[in-house]
Every structure is written in C-alpha cells, then in structure tokens.
Amino acid sequence: MEPILVLQQVPHETLGTLAPFFLEAGLEFRYLELFAQAPPQFDPDRAAGLVILGGPMNVDEVDRYPFLRSEVAWIRETVAREVPVLGICLGAQLLAKSLGAKVYPNPIKEIGWYEIELTSKAGEDPVFGGLAPQQAVFQWHGDTFDLPPDAVRLAQGESCRHQAFRYGRSAYGLQFHAEMTAPLIEDWLGDAENRRELAALDYIDPQGIRARTPELLPRMEALGRHIFPRFAALCRGESE
C-alpha cells in the first residue's frame, strides 16, 4: 500500500498522536518537509491519504512561502481523485481555499483550550458519528474560512464558527489541533516567537492553558481515539 503523505509546514508541527493510529492500521507515512524543500512533483495516485499540517503562516503568504501555492493545487487534485484528505488548522484553511472558499482573519485569535459543539450532521458522519456533542479541543490560530460549497459542517464554536467540515466522502478539515500531546503543548508555549505573540494578547493566559491541560487533554485524546482510526480506515479503503 502507498504511504500517507504529510505536508509539513514547519518543523515543530507534527502528526503527534495521529502517527500511532496510522501505524496500528498498517499504514506508513512520509513527511514532505515543505519548509526545507518542496517536491518538484506531486502524485496523489501514489498516496493512501494526504494530511496537511498547521503552521504560523496564512494561506495567502505565497511570496514568503512559495510552496503554499503548490499545496493548494495538490490538495485540489487529491480531493478530485477521492484520496482521503485531512487538513489540520492551516491545513483546513488550505483545504477550504482549494475548494473555492474564502480564508480571512477570525475576529479573535483562538489559543489554548476551547469547547466546540458537533452539529447534527456529525452524527451521520463516518468519522465523527457516535461522539458526544460537546468536545474540548486545543486551538492555535488567527484565521478562519467560509464553508466551502457543498461541504458539510461537522463542528462549530462560539468564537470561530467553522471548526470541522467534510467535503465529498473523505476530505476533512479540522480547525483545531486534536493531535496535540502535553510535550507539544509545552513546546509551543515555550517557543520564543510564540511567547512574543502571546505577550501581545492580553486575553490569553499561558499559565491558565498549562493549568487546564491535565483536565482537558484526556478529553481530547478520547476524541482522537475516535476520529483518527476512522480516518486511517478511509485511507485503507475501509469504513468502520
């Protein structure tokens, strides 16, 4: 079987808790380190699935990050071939853009722990079906997007409406970071550039984020144990 291709925007954003579920499903994965060198060619027929990770840039910073323009084309082609796609944070925004939706600044930056609500459509979804309506998730983003035409909204939030969506049978966008681990959260909070960003946001309390992590991370891990194996099954050509 072909590997999962993982589009990595920056070194510190990885598959996190998603990686073990791919391995348990017998799926190999390969990072494409776009920050180092974008591949000259991209063939979705050589992929069991595509994961697009997050990053601090926005989707339109193509002058500074030329690979973003290529990513949009790759994602569009992958979706057209009905290869399973999972976009996380920036990845969800790139997926939305590739499907013709507008991406723009959210009224506030969401950083830390937030509650989201699954929609009624989520109950019918092969990946999200069977979950409780209220979920706790980790966020780190400043942009949001319109729901792409013909997409199904699966989750919503008070300060950012579009939190998860499905397009077609197997393309998913998650605005939140369900893949986070405690060490990753601490790495992000401790990063020098991120500390400068947080210092400018008087409504974000890094110590409060740390304090809530022991309580809320297990809830999000349970969410990951539900959705990630089901996405892996789609990549294997199966459904649960």
Q: Residue 43's pLDDT is what?
A: 92
Catalytic residue among 13, 71, 141, 177: 177
Catalytic residue among 110, 162, 179, 235: 179
Catalytic residue among 89, 110, 141, 235: 89
- Amino acid identity at 8: Q
Q: What is the pTM of this model?
A: 0.97
DSSP of 192-220? HHHHHHHHT-TT--HHHHHHHHHHHHHHH
> Among this protein's residues, is 215 annotated catalytic?
no
Per-residue 3-state assignment (H helix, E strand, C coil) for 119-170: CHHHHHCCCCCCCCCEEEEEEEEEEEECCCCCCEEEEECCCCCCCEEEECCC
Each residue's pLDDT tens digit, 110-156: 999 999 999 999 999 999 999 999 999 999 999 999 999 999 999 99
Domain 4-235 fold: Rossmann fold (3.40.50)
Each residue's pLDDT tens digit, 92-114: 999 999 999 999 999 999 999 99
> Among this protein's residues, is 235 annotated catalytic?
no
Write out the two tokens for 11.
């070194």
103-118 vs 152-156, strand pairing mode: antiparallel
Going by C-alpha positions, the residue among 144, 53, 136, 139 that lies closest to residue 91 is: 53
CA distance 13 to 105: 21
